[in-house]
Amino acid sequence: MKAKLEEIRERAKEELSKANAIENLEELRVKYAGKKGELTAILKQMGKLSPEERPVIGQLANEVRSYIDNAIETKKAELNELKLQRQLEEEKIDVTLPSNTEPLGHKHPLSIVLDEIKEIFVGMGFEIVEGPEVEYDYYNFEALNIPKDHPARDTQDTFYITDNIVLRTQTSPVQVRVMEKKKPPIRIISPGRVFRSDAVDATHSPLFHQIEGLVVDKDITFADLKGTLETFIKRLYGEDSVVRFRPHHFPFTEPSAEVDVQCFSCKGKGCRVCKNEGWIEILGCGMVHPKVLENCGIDPEEYSGFALGLGLERVAMRRYGVDDMRLFFENDTRFLSQF
Ligand code: DAH
């Protein structure tokens, strides 16, 4: 029996040394020390031994059992450690490997130009304000001296929401909203989306962007308007830009003008860029009509002001030599990634 126990110990040792998975260990434990295991089987035969032999064999059997238990625990710890090492090895990140480069986004060309324009005006002390895109007829037309039967309404094909609510056709209504709220001195620009029911082509879109400008204070004259706009255009198109003011008509300004810049491509000789005119129209402007001031509760005897409105798409098209406005709205990344 003693020899048998020794043999079990040796065989267990041997088999344990070959075990290479935690699951094998459990099998071995059952095989040797389990209820139906080999050791248990031997212990069951203890009764057949003589009283002298019993304690000796009993002690040996206990030793073998605790040997096997210990050996299994030790092996288990070893295997666990090995497993952890392997896992750490597999999950190791090589931080020196070059990364997959994610393509960087681009600012939209309209945003680039708008940011530049904002910066120029902010540099001259203007504040930036915004107004609603869904607007009352009153603000979009009436208060701006464009009554119901005014021909100017035909040139701005309007999307009507109800009889007296429209999608704003221009950013000019923000002028009225600002003047109603704030007493002079006022010096603001207001960029935003405007809507007109135009068919889409290379130079028309039912949605486009304008930037409105408004200055109201005591003693504001056309000279202030001229000086401000010349400074603006030179900052935008370069110090050597040549600017001209052409008389025009807008219902909400008197006098009104359109401002052209001499074609920077041909220097006024006439070319494709300026459609042979030598000049490129940039914006509309004028002295705020006394009726508009009055509509907003500002006394035209005490205050005067100037206003301007420019189209963002036009500026961007010229800046980047883009000849089709649709490109700005299609969001084709092959186009956008060039900026
Ligand atoms: N609102 C005009 C338009 O959409 C542009 C404009 C012209 C705005 C003259 C002004 C201005 O503030 O003074 O055609």
The single-letter code of the amino acid at 117 is: I
Answer yes or no: is the C-beta of 208 below 6 A from any ligand 1 atom: no
pLDDT of amino acid 68: 85
| Spatial distance between the Cα atoms of 141 and 150, rounded to a whole number of angstroms | 9
Answer yes or no: is the C-beta of 16 below 6 A from any ligand 1 atom: no
pLDDT of amino acid 125: 97
Mutate-to-test residue for ligand 1 from 252, 289, 291, 312, highest number of ligand atoms within 8 A of CB: 252
| Spatial distance between the Cα atoms of 82 and 90, rounded to a whole number of angstroms | 12
| Spatial distance between the Cα atoms of 337 and 339, rounded to a whole number of angstroms | 6
Look at the block and give the residue holding tokens 């206003």: 307
Mutate-to-test residue for ligand 1 from 153, 158, 171, 172, highest number of ligand atoms within 8 A of CB: 172
At the top level of CATH, the class of 109-336 is alpha beta
pLDDT of amino acid 243: 92
Q: How far apart, in Å, are the Cα atoms of 78 and each of 72, 82, 89, 150?
A: 10, 6, 16, 93
Q: How many CB atoms lie within 10 A of CB 37?
A: 18
CA dihedral 126, 127, 128, 131 (to 10 degrees): -110
Answer yes or no: is the C-beta of 189 below 6 A from any ligand 1 atom: no
Per-domain residue ranges of the chain: 2-91, 109-336
Answer yes or no: is the C-beta of 286 below 6 A from any ligand 1 atom: yes
Structure tokens, 302: 């005490």
Per-residue pLDDT of the chain (339 residues; tens, 9 = 90+): 778 888 888 888 888 888 888 888 888 888 888 888 888 887 788 788 888 888 888 888 888 888 888 888 888 888 888 889 989 988 888 889 888 888 888 899 999 999 999 999 999 999 999 999 999 999 999 999 998 888 778 767 899 999 999 999 999 999 999 999 999 999 999 999 999 998 898 888 999 999 999 999 999 999 999 999 999 999 998 898 899 999 999 999 999 999 998 887 788 898 877 889 999 888 999 999 999 999 999 999 999 999 999 999 999 988 888 889 999 999 999 999 999
| Spatial distance between the Cα atoms of 298 and 275, rounded to a whole number of angstroms | 42
Q: How far is the CA of 250 from the centre of ligand 1 (A)?
A: 7
Look at the block and give the residue holding tokens 């405007």: 194
- Measured from the Cα of 212, ligand 1's closest atom is 12
| Spatial distance between the Cα atoms of 271 and 264, rounded to a whole number of angstroms | 10
Q: How far is the CA of 265 from the centre of ligand 1 (A)?
A: 26
pLDDT of amino acid 171: 98
pLDDT of amino acid 7: 84
Q: How far is the CA of 285 from the centre of ligand 1 (A)?
A: 6
Answer yes or no: is the C-beta of 295 below 6 A from any ligand 1 atom: no
User: What are the residues whose beta carbons fall under 8 Å from the beta carbon of 36, sequence distance 6 or more?
Assistant: 30
| Minimum CA distance residue for ligand 1 atom 13 | 285
Q: Where are the beta strands (DSSP E) in 218-325?
A: 243-250, 253-262, 279-288, 304-311
Q: How far apart, in Å, are the Cα atoms of 45 and each of 9, 38, 68?
A: 18, 11, 20
Nearest to 280 by CA among 261, 264, 265: 261
| Helices assigned H by DSSP within 156-277 | 173-181, 222-237
The single-letter code of the amino acid at 150 is: H
φ, ψ (nearest 5 deg) of residue 241: -65, 145
The single-letter code of the amino acid at 279 is: W
Mutate-to-test residue for ligand 1 from 225, 229, 250, highest number of ligand atoms within 8 A of CB: 250
- Contacts by 142-151 with C-beta closer than 8 Å and gap 24+? 143/173, 143/176, 143/292, 143/295, 143/296, 144/172, 144/173, 144/175, 144/176, 144/251, 144/252, 144/292, 145/251, 145/252, 145/289, 145/291, 145/292, 145/295, 146/251, 146/252, 150/251
| Spatial distance between the Cα atoms of 139 and 137, rounded to a whole number of angstroms | 6
Helices and strands (H and E) in the chain: how many: 13, 10
pLDDT of amino acid 170: 97
pTM for this entry: 0.71
pLDDT of amino acid 183: 93
Answer yes or no: is the C-beta of 136 below 6 A from any ligand 1 atom: no
Mutate-to-test residue for ligand 1 from 225, 260, 308, 312, highest number of ligand atoms within 8 A of CB: 308
